[in-house]
């Protein structure tokens, strides 16, 4: 389907978010740290999380403007997780630029770059919570948002640790994988959608439905991302094709393949999985195996199922243009793999 980021309603919200982020990160007390904080947010991104919060708030009660700062807080925290994830994954590029810890133009010394990247991530984390405290809402609502956001960050850390631990095993179940991405990826979509409904003073049923919608969309989003890593154009994604394989990621595709491959296919997957010295040819051969085992098709099917379940959650919300866009959002998040 067409990229919904081109919809006027999305463009308008994203432009407001971009302007606000640039203003928020335009000044700081120490310039070298500020430059690092600007690096990922200014390098691009669809701003789905703040747009998500604004859409749900507008859908419930036309309160999208009030939800924007909350969404921006999540976006800054999201960028904090990206900086630290890139260190943990030893990634080289993000959004078509060098990762902070890998960019020798920042500093020739690797230890300095690693320490600098950690500091940048910490600063983005702190800035996110500072912005969260400025949300235009009652003290009770702000406290609730702070509590939910803190729970989100802890859950993301748990998901990241699960992801790291899974890389040591070859017997990951589908249920374990889904729980991991629910924490690592979907929690932020859940918190964005739920927070928008909270700020809009929605009913508890609406708030819970938005939270579940965000969870299901977030899971579908991550499964689609796993597929894009294998099939996407590096010129568009900004990442090397098959990077998840080299990093040893136990994606749904890999989990399914390891359970369904022939012995020879399984040996080939295992030999490349987590092998940072794997050649492009070996990566492509592994991708072909993942296709031949039906694992990529299976992941596509599961992603679509999550999208359909997500759209069911929206039926308790007012039937307006924002709900229509959220429905489109659920479709696009999984069908962008096409």
| Residue 336: per-residue pLDDT | 76
Q: Is 247:284 a contact under the CB 8 Å cutoff? A: no
C-alpha separations of 60 from 87, 218, 239, 300 in Å: 39, 20, 37, 31
Phi, psi of 29 (to 5 degrees): -80, -25
CATH code for the domain of 179: 1.10.600.10
Q: How far apart are CA 254 and CA 147, in angstroms?
A: 35
Residue 176: both structure tokens together: 């374990």
The reported pTM is: 0.93
Residue with token string 């859950």:
155
Sign of the CA dihedral with 255 first, then 261, 264, and 269 last? negative
Q: How many CA atoms lie within 13 A of 303 on its CB side?
A: 28
The answer to whether residues 271 and 248 touch, using CB atoms and an 8 Å cutoff, is no
pLDDT at 7: 94
Q: What is residue 2's predicted lDDT score, i.e. its pLDDT?
A: 63
Q: 3-state DSSP call for residue 295?
A: helix
In sequence order, the 6+-apart residues with CB closer than 8 A to the CB of 306 are: 216, 217, 219, 220, 223, 334
pLDDT score of 63: 97
| pLDDT-flagged residues of the chain (< 70) | 1-2, 238, 337-338
Pairing of strands 93-94, 97-98: antiparallel
Give the whole-angstrom CA distance, residue 219 versus residue 174.
13
Pick left, alpha or beta for residue 190 (phi over 0 → left; psi -120 to 50 → alpha; otherwise beta): alpha
Alpha carbons 121 and 36: distance in angstroms, whole number: 9
Whether 69 contacts 53, CB under 8 Å: no
pLDDT value of position 330: 94
Number of domains in the chain: 1
- pLDDT tens sequence across 288-334: 999 999 999 999 999 999 999 999 999 999 999 999 999 999 999 88
In a 3-state reduction of DSSP, which class is residue 134?
A: coil
Domain holding 154, by residue range, is: 4-335
Query: H/E/C letters for each residue in the chain?
Result: CCCHHHCHHHHHHHHHHHHHHHHHCCCCCCHHHHHHHHHCHHHCCCCHHHHHHHHHHHHHHCCHHHHHHHHHHHHHHHHHHHHHHHHHHCCCEECCEECHHHCCCCCCCHHHHHHHHHHHHHHHHHHHHHHHCCCCCCHHHHHHHHHHHHHHHHHHHHHHHHHHHHCCCCCCCHHHHHHHHHHHHHHHHHHHHHHHHHHCCCCHHHHHHHHHHHHHHHHHHHHHHHHHHHHCCHHHHCCCCCHHHHCCCCCHHHHHHHHHCCHHHHHHHHHHCCCCCCCHHHHHHHHHHHHHCCHHHHHHHHHHHHHHHHHHHHHHCCCCHHHHHHHHHHHHHHHCCC
């Amino acid at each position: 389907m067409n990229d919904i980021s081109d919809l006027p309603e999305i463009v308008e919200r994203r432009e407001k978010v971009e302007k606000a982020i640039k203003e928020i990160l335009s000044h700081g007390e120490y310039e070298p740290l500020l430059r690092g904080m600007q690096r990922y947010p200014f390098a691009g991104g669809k701003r789905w999380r703040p747009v998500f919060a604004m859409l749900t708030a507008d859908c419930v009660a036309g309160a999208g403007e009030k939800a924007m700062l909350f969404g921006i807080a999540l976006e800054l925290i999201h960028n904090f997780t990206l900086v630290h994830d890139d260190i943990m994954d030893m990634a080289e590029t993000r959004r078509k630029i060098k990762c902070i810890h890998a960019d020798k133009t920042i500093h020739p010394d690797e230890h300095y770059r690693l320490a600098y990247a950690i500091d940048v991530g910490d600063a983005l984390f702190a800035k996110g919570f500072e912005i969260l405290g400025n949300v235009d809402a009652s003290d009770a609502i702000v406290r609730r948002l702070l509590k939910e956001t803190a729970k989100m960050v802890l859950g993301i850390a748990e998901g990241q640790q699960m992801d790291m631990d899974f890389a040591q095993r070859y017997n990951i179940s589908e249920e374990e994988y889904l729980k991991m991405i629910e924490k690592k990826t979907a929690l932020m979509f859940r918190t964005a959608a739920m927070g928008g409904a909270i700020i809009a003073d929605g009913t508890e049923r609406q708030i819970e439905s938005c939270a579940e919608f965000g969870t299901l969309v977030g899971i579908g989003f991550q499964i689609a991302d796993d597929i894009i890593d294998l099939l996407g154009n590096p010129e568009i994604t900004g990442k090397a094709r098959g990077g998840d394989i080299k990093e040893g990621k136990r994606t749904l595709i890999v989990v399914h393949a390891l359970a369904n491959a022939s012995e020879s296919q399984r040996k080939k997957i295992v030999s490349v999985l987590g092998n940072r010295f794997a050649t492009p040819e070996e990566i492509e051969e592994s991708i072909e195996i993942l296709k031949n085992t039906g694992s990529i098709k299976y992941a596509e099917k599961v992603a679509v199922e999550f999208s359909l379940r997500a759209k069911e959650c929206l039926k308790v919300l007012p039937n307006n243009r924002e709900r229509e866009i959220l429905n489109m959002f659920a479709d696009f998040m999984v069908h962008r793999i096409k």
